[in-house]
Each structure stands twice: as structure tokens, then as C-alpha cells.
Amino acid sequence: MLFAVLILIAACAKSVSVSETPQSNEKTAGQESQAKEVTVTLPAKFKLIQETATRNPAVVKGIVKNIGNGTGSVKVTARVYYAKVVSGEEIQTIENVAPGEEKSFSIQIEKVTQWTSFKVFLE
């Protein structure tokens, strides 16, 4: 029993309590701040809302919407096909699209005389 009491006293003697006082966070006039600036970039995410095309001249039009949380840019690629083979392709970049904002695009595809279908890709 005496041995158990001695162990308990020894354990209590070794425990250390640390409490932070308001004075420990204060800085003196000569100290530099250790705070670092952190930049968080929220991702932009785009969705194709509408797409149409005209035959002559070959023009692909549409609307993209930023459904993400950050402002960003999107690269719109328009391809026209003839008999399932790419007959023309053009790229347009739309920049600084804010969250929730919709922007339209119009891409004229040069040197295409015939086409049967089209596709729009977003990057």
C-alpha cells in the first residue's frame, strides 16, 4: 500500500501543466510578425449550356456557364465532321468568367465546304 502511494506521488510530481496567458501572445515593438499570407484558389468549372451551328459559313455558336466557385478561363474547341472524319477545327479561349456567369462564343471554322455533324469540347 505504501508503495502505491509513493508511485502516485511520483506520478503527480512529474505531470506538467501548460497554460497560455494573454501576455504570451503579445509582441514587443521590435519583433517581426511570423504570419504568412496564404492564397486559396477556388476552382472554376464549366458547363456547355447551348450549342448550335450554321452550314455556310461553318460557324459553331453556344453558351458556357461557370458552375464552379472561382473565376477562370475555358478553352472551347469546335470540330465539324464529314462522314465521321474531322474536316475542320478551331479553338477560342474565353477568359475571366466569374462564378455563375454565362458567356457566349462564336467560332468560324475556315476552309470547310461540307460537313454533316459538329461537336464542342471544353478544356
For residue 117, the domain's CATH number is 2.60.40.10
Burial class (CB in 10 A: 0-12, 13-18, 19+), 48: middle
Assigned domain for 96 exists: yes
Assigned domain for 28 exists: no
Assigned domain for 98 exists: yes
Judge whether residue 61 has pLDDT over 50.
yes
Assigned domain for 12 exists: no
Structure confidence by residue, pLDDT tens digits, 17-33: 555 555 555 555 666 66
Model-wide pTM > 0.95: no
Number of domains the chain is built from: 1
Assigned domain for 108 exists: yes
For residues 21 and 24, give the distance between their C-alpha atoms in angstroms, rounded to a whole number.
6
Structure confidence by residue, pLDDT tens digits, 82-106: 999 999 999 999 999 999 999 999 9
Domain housing 86: 46-122
For residues 60 and 81, give the distance between their C-alpha atoms in angstroms, rounded to a whole number.
12
